[in-house]
Structure 1
Amino acid sequence: MISRGRRGARGLSITTLPYKVKVYSNNQVLIPAQLVRALGIQTLEYAEIVLRRGDQSVTVFVRLLKTRFTDSRQFTIPKEVREKLGILPGMEVEIVEIRRPKDVI
């Protein structure tokens, strides 16, 4: 009999906030599947996210992008926020908080 285990890469074992993550070249940031499940935000389409870089922090309202086969999410850091905090691709930012939006679109 063939044993069917899990497929694909193991993924990042991040389950609590805050966490630090690198910004991709397309200005997107990953929210790992284990964290998405731990926070119970699998069904959210939009979220309010508190980002920190150095001693500056900002709250952004973003659309959570998802893939077909995993619970991980990505979001794009808005241009105004990138310019304000001086964020470039490859830099590290800290995700301090992820919460449901107050006003559902």
Structure 2
Amino acid sequence: MPRAPKLIGARRKSKRVDNRQSASKRGYGYRWGKYSRQRLREYPECVSCGREAEATDHIIPVTGPDDPLFWDSSNHQSLCKSCHSSKTASESNGMKIGRDNYRRAGVRGYGG
């Protein structure tokens, strides 16, 4: 079967549906990076699979740095990249992430 011709200079359309702000505008700037690196030194294993953790995750999703749970250390867990990606994808389901529009059932560390 013949393939469609390549268009020179054409860009692929992104399949990403969300129009989130940049990470720093969502509160994940220098201060979060510094905090996350320190926390990962203290808790180096993924709480889900036991592999080396690469991300500090919010157990209950937050809406931004003004959310009271953003800096609450009891709302943080260490996850490997794979587990963090899976958790984030299941939470967002292509929608805006945040506590106001989040199904809490099955969230690790949450009683629901």
**TM over 0.5, yes or no?**
no
Report the structure, 1 or 2, having the larger helix content.
Answer: 2
Structure (1 or 2) with the larger CA radius of gyration: 2
Scaled by the length of structure 2, the TM-score of the pair is: 0.28
Scaled by the length of structure 1, the TM-score of the pair is: 0.29
